[in-house]
Amino acid sequence: MELRRIEEKVFKTIGLISVTLVVACLLAMILTVVVKGLPALNWQMITQTPKGGYYLGKEGGILNAIIGSIYLAGGATILAFFISLPTALFLQKDYYGKTKLAELVRLALDVLWGIPSIVYGAFGFVFMMYVGMRASLLGGIISLTFVIFPIMTRAIDEILLTIPRDLKEASYAVGATKLETTLSVTIRQAAPGILTGVVLAFGRAIGDAASILFTAGYTDNIPSSLLDPVASLPLAIFFQIGTPYVEVQQRAYASAVILLIVILLLTSLTRLFSRMSENYAVK
Amino acid sequence: MERIFLDKLAGWFTKAVAIFSVGILVLMILGLLIKSDQILSTSSLSKLLLSSEWKPSKGDFGFLPFITGTFIVTLIAMVISVPVCLMSAIYLTEYSGKTARGIVKSGVDTLAGIPSVVFGLWGILFIVPLVRDIIAPAFGVETSGYCILSGSIVLSIMVVPIILSIMEDVILSVPEDLKEASYAVAATKWQTIKYVVIPKTAHGLFSAVILGFSRAFGETMAVLMVVGNVAVHWKSVFDPAYPLTALIANNYGEMLSIPLYDSALMFASLLLLVIVVAFNLMARYILARMKTEEG
């Protein structure tokens, strides 16, 4: 065989091995966590808060962390939406998309997108100290909002770019204002795509630990006000794995299975929405 | 007139919110600068960056072991990840069918969504024993498994989604005509990839690597859980290291009881921010220039 044919075969095989490796890592990870965690998972885990001696291996569950994570991620997603949607609209050509200011905003968003979440957490903590706030649900929500709003803005911005110009022109032609066009044409048309971005951001928020490590605190109770500290699933995993007790470590695996299930559900949901937006949008 | 007024109002509102998001960034940078100022006024910048003396209670804050720790963990992660991602991207775009690419893509998207704590947990369950019982003995070394190599392996998988997806996009952007021209002179697929696709996309591939690097550089929880967190002078990849992110995450409890400690940690945050942002912007700049050259 010619050398170049051999070369072709060799590199094609290396390529195949690489892809297999990537897929194998994903499967190995999900399998390891599920196999380790499933035996420890039971009804008590998801319906009870930790009882006395829980961290020594006694009764209880991680309901506090499940509810806490929903509060944290939910709150942050709502707050981020009110920043992201207007910012994404601002970046459109219809609004200020062509101005120097828009370029500056784009740059700032790129920078914010790249900042590690631990930096948001550390800054958030120092800022909270400065204004005299304790680690709390509110602090956690605000830090998470900063982490996810650049992600959400980018997702919404990309969706808005796909809305056909003609559609908007038609609306302008009958005398609709920008606001009316935005509300009844652009946003409607982009709705499934926007929803995808929102779910994506929620998923990122529910999995992030570094930004809430200092700002949200941790507690065995379900918070009753915004100023109470709050537990979260990622930190529940982190703290439980750090204990020397095998029973508690197993609960960390079980908690990871719960978090993984939530994330996989959210991923399927985004896939569903993006398929919807492909079928439903006017091209 | 009310309609027009509402429309104007909505426009101003988007502008105000957009300015607010720039404001957050400015506030953060300013805040970190102000907090870092305390430590910068007691020790010089070069001493902070180049000294290995870390004794917070005595006021010695040398960040060198943490900086080198971050760099070595990230670099080895890239050495593992980049070839695999490059070959995967080539295989998926040039060799495999659309269906296979779709399946792998949804797998990689799933990988992208998995929280870093779960990566860390998997690292403890799978990678740490792998390194301790198989890889290290193969080199005749004894290690607890909580070491640089474990951190790097976990990170190398975490950055796959970002590197692979950008590399795929970049390779797909090569015009079909160019490749056809190469096939027309009887080049094989690999020759076409080697002489046309890779040179044509080198900048884009490079920026994918930088984006992956900056993502790995700022990663906290997963690395923290497997890398050992001992501020020693590491000599091999089987030694533990203590990255900057782990330093910040592990010490917030103490930072209030020791003077200057909080300022030192804010300086560490600032350092992370500056490095990561510089890498990010560089990659964005390269990608944007590629787009304008094509367009």
pLDDT for the residue A283: 56
pLDDT for the residue A85: 94
CB contacts, 8 Å: A214 with chain B: 252
The CB density around residue A6, as the number of other CB atoms within 10 Å, is 10
Q: Are residues B103 and B29 in the same domain?
A: no
The CB density around residue B212, as the number of other CB atoms within 10 Å, is 29
Residues paired with residue B61 on neighbouring β-strands, in sequence order: B54
Q: Do A22 and B160 touch (CB under 8 A)?
A: yes
Q: Are residues B129 and B8 in the same domain?
A: no
Q: Are residues B22 and B111 in the same domain?
A: no
Going by the DSSP 8-state scheme, the letter that residue B236 receives in this structure is S
Answer for the pair B244, B70: CB distance below 8 angstroms, yes or no: yes
In a domain, B177, yes or no: yes
In a domain, B91, yes or no: yes
Distance between A105 CA and the closest CA of chain B, angstroms? 6
B143, burial (CB in 10 Å: exposed 0-12, middle 13-18, buried 19+) = buried
Answer for the pair A232, A140: CB distance below 8 angstroms, yes or no: yes
pLDDT for the residue A280: 66
Q: Are residues B141 and B171 in the same domain?
A: yes
Q: Are residues B117 and B176 in the same domain?
A: yes
Strands (E), A142-225: none
Q: Which among B107, B217, B249 has the least Cβ separation from residue A26?
A: B107
Give the chain A residue whose CA is nearest to the CA of B244.
A118
Give the phi and the psi of residue B110 in degrees, each rounded to 5: -60, -45
pLDDT for the residue A281: 62
Which two three-digit tokens encode residue B194?
Answer: 């080697």
Answer for the pair A185, A171: CB distance below 8 angstroms, yes or no: yes
A231 touches chain B (CB under 8 A): no
In a domain, B148, yes or no: yes
Distance CA A102, CA B18 (A): 8
Q: Do B221 and A11 touch (CB under 8 A)?
A: no
In a domain, B48, yes or no: no
User: Hunting for tokens 């956690």 — which residue is that?
Assistant: A140
Q: Do B91 and A26 touch (CB under 8 A)?
A: no
The A residues from 128 to 167 touching B (CB cutoff 8 Å) are: 129, 146, 149-150, 153
DSSP A103-114: HHHHHHHHHHHH
CB contacts, 8 Å: A108 with chain B: 21-22, 25
Q: Are residues B32 and B111 in the same domain?
A: no
For the stretch B253-281, pLDDT in tens is 777 777 788 888 999 999 999 999 899 88
pLDDT for the residue B284: 83
3-state secondary structure of B60: strand
Distance between A188 CA and the closest CA of chain B, angstroms? 17
In a domain, B125, yes or no: yes
pLDDT for the residue A238: 92
The A residues from 23 to 62 touching B (CB cutoff 8 Å) are: 23, 25-26, 28-29, 32-33, 36
Q: Pick from A109, A106, A92: which is nearest to A148 by CA?
A: A109
CB contacts, 8 Å: A234 with chain B: 115-117, 221
For the stretch B59-102, pLDDT in tens is 888 899 999 999 999 999 999 999 999 999 999 999 988 899 99
CA atoms within 13 A on the CB side of B195: 15
Distance CA B191, CA B183 (A): 9
* CATH code assigned at B173: 1.10.3720.10
Provide the domain limits for residue B20. 2-42
In a domain, B47, yes or no: no
Q: Pick from B6, B99, B29, B137: which is nearest to A112 by CA?
A: B29
B12, burial (CB in 10 Å: exposed 0-12, middle 13-18, buried 19+) = exposed
pLDDT for the residue A243: 86
Give the chain B residue whose CA is nearest to the CA of A86.
B14
B-interface mutation test, from A12, A22, A101, most B Cβ less than 10 A away: A22
pLDDT for the residue A162: 87
In a domain, B240, yes or no: yes
Q: Do A179 and B280 touch (CB under 8 A)?
A: no
Q: Are residues B19 and B94 in the same domain?
A: no
CB contacts, 8 Å: A256 with chain B: 117-118, 121
Please report the number of interchain residue pairs, chain A to chain B, with beta-carbon separation below 8 angstroms.
Answer: 262
Q: Do A178 and B269 touch (CB under 8 A)?
A: no
Which two three-digit tokens encode residue A82?
Answer: 């009110």
When pLDDT is averaged across residues B98-123 and rounded to a whole number, the result is: 92
In a domain, B49, yes or no: no
CA atoms within 13 A on the CB side of A15: 21
Write down the ipTM of this complex: 0.91
Q: Any long-range contacts for A122-126 (C-beta under 8 Å, 24+ apart)?
A: A122/A214, A122/B248, A122/B252, A122/B265, A122/B266, A122/B269, A123/B28, A123/B31, A123/B32, A123/B266, A123/B269, A124/A211, A124/A214, A124/A215, A125/A214, A125/A215, A125/B252, A126/B31, A126/B35, A126/B262, A126/B266
Residue B111 CA to chain centroid, in angstroms? 15
Distance between A209 CA and the closest CA of chain B, angstroms? 7
Q: Are residues B223 and B104 in the same domain?
A: yes
3-state secondary structure of B228: strand
Q: Are residues B14 and B59 in the same domain?
A: no
Distance CA B189, CA B50 (A): 49
Please give chain A's pLDDT, 283 residues, in tens: 688 889 999 999 999 999 999 999 999 999 999 999 998 888 888 888 887 777 776 777 889 999 999 999 999 999 999 999 999 999 988 888 888 898 899 989 989 998 999 999 999 988 888 888 888 999 999 999 999 999 999 999 999 988 888 888 888 888 888 888 888 888 888 888 899 999 999 999 999 999 999 899 888 888 888 889 999 999 999 999 988 888 888 889 999 999 999 999 999 998 888 887 777 666 5
Q: Are residues B160 and B276 in the same domain?
A: yes
Q: Which among B21, B96, B191 has the least Cβ separation from residue A4?
A: B191
Q: Do A238 and B117 touch (CB under 8 A)?
A: yes
Going by the DSSP 8-state scheme, the letter that residue A91 receives in this structure is T
Residue B136's pLDDT band, with cuts at 50, 70 and 90, is very high
Distance CA B281, CA A53 (A): 49
Q: How many domains does chain B have?
A: 2
CB contacts, 8 Å: A211 with chain B: none
Which two three-digit tokens encode residue B196?
Answer: 């046309």
Q: Are residues B223 and B94 in the same domain?
A: yes
CB contacts, 8 Å: B272 with chain A: 116, 118-119
Q: Pick from A257, A104, A87, A271: which is nearest to B103 by CA?
A: A271
Going by the DSSP 8-state scheme, the letter that residue B249 receives in this structure is H
The A residues from 172 to 191 touching B (CB cutoff 8 Å) are: 177-180, 182
Distance between A244 CA and the closest CA of chain B, angstroms? 14
CB contacts, 8 Å: A206 with chain B: 115
Q: Which residues, including other chains, have CB under 8 Å from residue A266's CB and lie 6 or more apart?
A: A199, A200, A202, A203, A206, B113
The dihedral formed by the CA atoms of A137, B265, B223 and A134, expressed in degrees to the nearest 10 = -10
Q: What is the pTM of this model?
A: 0.92
Mean of the per-residue pLDDT values for chain B? 90
The CB density around residue B196, as the number of other CB atoms within 10 Å, is 18
B-interface mutation test, from A4, A113, A115, A174, most B Cβ less than 10 A away: A115
Answer for the pair A277, A193: CB distance below 8 angstroms, yes or no: yes
Distance between A255 CA and the closest CA of chain B, angstroms? 10
Q: Are residues B123 and B143 in the same domain?
A: yes
CB contacts, 8 Å: A207 with chain B: 113-118
**pLDDT higher than threshold 80 for residue B294:** no
